[in-house]
Structure 1
Amino acid sequence: MPTPAAPAQKGGRYSVLPRLAGTSYIPLGLFARVPLAMLTIGVLTMVTQVSGSYAIGGFAAGCIGIGAAVGSPVVGYLADRLGQKRILLVAAVVNALLVAAVVILAYTVLPTDGAQITDGGTLAVFAAALISGATSPQVGPLSRVRWMALSKKLPANQRGPAVDTALSLEGTADEITFVLGPALVGLLASLVAPWLPLALAAIMTVVLVTLFALHHTVESVGPRTAASSTVGNAGYVAKEKPNWLLVAVPVAGMLAMGTFFGSAQTSLTAFTGVHGSVDQAGLMYAIMGSSSAVTALSVAYWSTKFTYAWRWVLMATLMAGGAFLFLVPQSLGQMVWVLLLMGLPVGPVMVSIFSVGSMVAPQQWMGTVMTALSSGIVAGTALGSALSGSLAQNQGYSAAFLVPIMAATALVVLGLLSVMVLRKRQQAQHSNT
């Protein structure tokens, strides 16, 4: 097992992480979540292409999100109760088979001439997408749980900064997968065929999620245990007794974040369909993820006086203001610049919401809460995809872009709510001491 980092760390804040988990863990944790990042936009692209309908493509992608929203907390609960290894091994195989089923059904039973949402073949594709989303392995949330557990090896004064750094890295990994996933979908769908990205995702799930499940770090989070919820810059420690009202605030934040993602993906699909080809949507969306990944990585170096909740508020405000720029471009080239700017606040918002979630998560339910946060993203993605898909089909892409604007605005409101509830919580803790 890797030994804890020494108090004097060379190589910056991130150097402690390979010493805690081993050098192979970070790249494995990154690539093992790429298939999930490919799934929603891969289904969106394939079903839209096969059916010729933005609405059906959006609803199919939405089914992935709805399934994941329901299934993710179940996966987290089972991982808390039975251990991550056995749950991830089962999920890897089952999910890969179901993704393959979505591809087969799309090309065999989905109507391609005037397809309707109520057609039997269309409903069969929706059902397969729903179940595949529900069985998706939750690599990102469960990796966060492992980091929190591994931080216990460090001296008490180093645990907070280590968790801060790990959460920033995890946020960056999420953003990188938002780049790699859509980019792979866009390249493979446009150069070869729309089914290929999903076939590749199924293969990657079996191989990489299995390796992640078997990695030695899984021993740090045995059954019925979870990681320490102590985090750095706000000094909160989650109580053993859960306060699900507190947990609901970051979950709602992730719901709004997912709505932004899903609606942006679907709106961009409609935009590229007008100004280029729907196959280019993944590549366009990856541009936003690239700038988001850079700023997410920088969060570990932000001042500790800049608390998580206020980071959430400020970055969400920038998101809300910048989202109006989606209405401006009239070409792919113009949209590239908008996406680069829009990505800058997205990464820090995600890192901040996960950090707030780790502050309020009950210790014994850390895996469940982390997957609930992740399910908020995918549920929001489902909602955003469905809303924007309908608007794009009936009123055009400009109307569809109103959905990410509203989602970003909701993030600001929820960020302010997190400031208030955490302040009251801190005051209550001080009054009890």
Structure 2
Amino acid sequence: MSSSPSLESPLSNAPAAKGGRYAALPRLAGTSYIPLGLFARVPLAMLTIGVLTLITTASHSYAIGGFAAGAVGIGAAIGAPVTGYFADRLGQKRILLVAAVINALLVSAVVVLAYTLLPEQGASVSDPATLTVLATALLSGASSPQVGPLSRVRWMAMSKKLPAKEQGPLVDTALSLEGTADEITFVLGPALVGLLASLVAPWLPLVLAAAMTLTLVTMFALHPTERVVGARPASTTVGNTGYVSAERPNWFLVAVPVAAMVCMGAFFGSSQTALSAFTGVYGSVDQAGLMYAIMGASSAVTALSVAYWPTKFSYPWRWVLASGLMAAGAAMFLVPASLGQMAWVLLLVGLFVGPTMVTIFSVGSVVAPPQWMGTVMTALASGIVAGTALGSSIAGALAQDQGYHTAFIVPIVAASTLLVLGLVAAVSLRGRLKRDR
């Protein structure tokens, strides 16, 4: 075996149980892959709140700032599946390299245009200059490199190098780790933006995000694990994760987890917005982010636990259990009358959020047509983005007109819909999701 760095080394030593399931992951992918995959997705987590902060400061308009942040979300929701499609067809490396350069340029352009085109006072959403900034923000979201979803595709491809009985546990472990990485970065990203913007300047978080995208995403694109997900034409029977397609794709089965991710996003967006209204009554609106991080922390911890759930506990019924407990916990949002009480509720609800999200990704990984794996993984991620925008807007309108109690109905409905979709998955996928262990 060659001593030069290559994918052959980590894969050939893959894994046995020694050191535990999570210890097997760096032996499979290489020691640099996990931290690289974690930090390479931080710029995306910084983008929305960074654009909101910068544009609001530059224009002195919360409305324009909100529209700009919304444009980033819409762009990401549209662009993510497109990125996944081309990654399936052309290979991840070239798509990620192109996306890293384009996105870094567009994010930098948002900074420049914000300070050159937006007046300090009196800016209007309909002004040509403002529309130019909003269009650039939309394109920056659309070009965001989809590190998280494409990393999941790589793990599924690498699992095919293992004996059949080890593939299922490896995928469970990897997807649990990926879910935790998402939770960490979407807590770390906004916190980093707030710290840099308040201590230095509102433009610094976006400049840093552009630099991180250019360097870290490029490193991720060139990492040796990319070799297992080479380009595949759409007509091939072997997808870029090594699966062999034995039947025609059933797009209804794909639509169920995608719809669930929209609901998951709606839960995130509405609960964060309703929580802002709640903290405005019982404390300060500025405390909403810290309170929301409590749910993210407990969610990240329990997402890791999914790797150790019984292998005979099928994905659809995991989904039903986790989302059912999540819906029951969400109903508790209506009870607290102080920040301390709400903190305990958030801690409780978060325990079930992580396993639900990891399980839905697992279902998506099984039902996705093999030659469309990257497309489906990015569609799941974009579902979260689209749902977050939808949930935030509905809960925001309800909070403005009727108060936080009514706004909290939105995350309760979203979690309950997740339970219904879980039952649909359990019925529709019965007998299909038998995993080789």
TM range (shorter): 0.7 to 0.9
Q: Does 1:15 align with 2:44?
A: no
Encode CA deviations 1:222-280: one digit per residue, 9 max, x unaligned.
11141145xxxxxxx86452211110000101111111222233344455556666555
> Which deviates further from its counterpart, 268-277 or 100-109?
268-277
Q: Does 1:155 align with 2:169?
A: no
Cα distance change of structure 1 residues 242 and 322 upon mapping to structure 2, 3 Å threshold: same
Q: What secondary structure is seen at the aligned counterpart in 2 of 1:9? A: coil
Contact kept in structure 1, 2:297 and 2:350, CA below 8 Å: yes
What is the total number of aligned residue pairs between the two structures? 421
Does 2:410 correspond to 1:374?
Answer: no
Matches for 1:23-422 after TM superposition, within 5 Å: 23-47=31-55, 56-110=64-118, 117-224=125-232, 225-228=239-242, 239=246, 241-272=248-279, 280-329=287-336, 332-422=339-429
Could you list the per-position Cα deviations for residues 41-85 of structure 1 after superposition, in whole angstroms to 9, with x for gaps in the alignment?
A: 333444456666665544433322221111111101111111111
Deviations 1:8-48 (A, max 9, x none): 42111112211110000011001111111222233344445
Cα-to-partner distance string for 1:92-134 (whole Å, 9 max, x where unaligned)? 1211222233334444545665766545454334322221111
The range that moved more, 287-296 or 183-192, is: 183-192
The change in CA–CA distance for 1:162 and 1:401 in structure 2 (over 3 A counts) is: same
Kept after mapping to 1: 8 A contact 2:149/2:374: yes
Deviations 1:331-389 (A, max 9, x none): 54444333222211111011000000011011111111111111111111222233334
Determine the C-alpha separation between the residues in 1 that align with 2:170 and 2:367: 18
Q: Distance in 1 between matches of 2:359 and 2:341?
A: 29
RMSD of aligned Cα (Å): 2.8
CA contact under 8 A between 1:111 and 1:121: conserved in structure 2? no
SS at match of 2:101: helix
CA 1:174–1:129 in 2, change beyond 3 Å: closer, same or farther?
Answer: same
Cα offsets for 1:157-188 (capped at 9, x unmatched): 21121111111111111111122122223333
Inter-CA distance 282–116: structure 2 relative to 1 (3 Å threshold): farther
CA contact (8 A) 1:38 1:185 kept: yes
Give me the whole-angstrom Cα distance separating, in 2, the residues matched to 1:193 and 1:272: 26
Query: Alignment partner of 1:303: what SS?
Result: coil
Cα distance in 2 for partners of 1:169, 1:254 equals: 18
The 10-residue stretch of structure 1 (404-413 or 109-118) with the greater mean CA deviation from structure 2: 109-118
Paired with 1:125 and 1:251, the residues of 2 have a C-alpha distance of: 30
TM-score (norm. length: structure 2): 0.87
What do the CA deviations read for 1:374-428 (whole angstroms, capped 9, x no partner)?
A: 111111122223333444455554444333222222211111111111017569x
- State whether residues 11 and 158 of structure 2, in contact with CA within 8 Å, keep that contact through their aligned partners in structure 1: no
In the other structure, the counterpart of 2:430 is: 423
Greater Cα offset, 67-76 or 415-424:
415-424
- Seen in structure 2, the aligned counterparts of structure 1 residues 331 and 7 have a Cα distance that, compared at 3 Å, is closer
Q: Look up the match of 2:236.
A: none
Deviant stretches of 4+, over 6 Å: none
Which stretches in structure 1 are left out of the alignment for 5+ residues? 230-236, 428-433
Are the counterparts in 2 of residues 91 and 136 from structure 1 also a CA contact under 8 Å?
Answer: yes
TM-score by length of 1: 0.87
**Any unmatched runs of 5+ in structure 2?**
1-7, 233-238
- Is contact 1:62-1:382 (8 Å) kept? yes
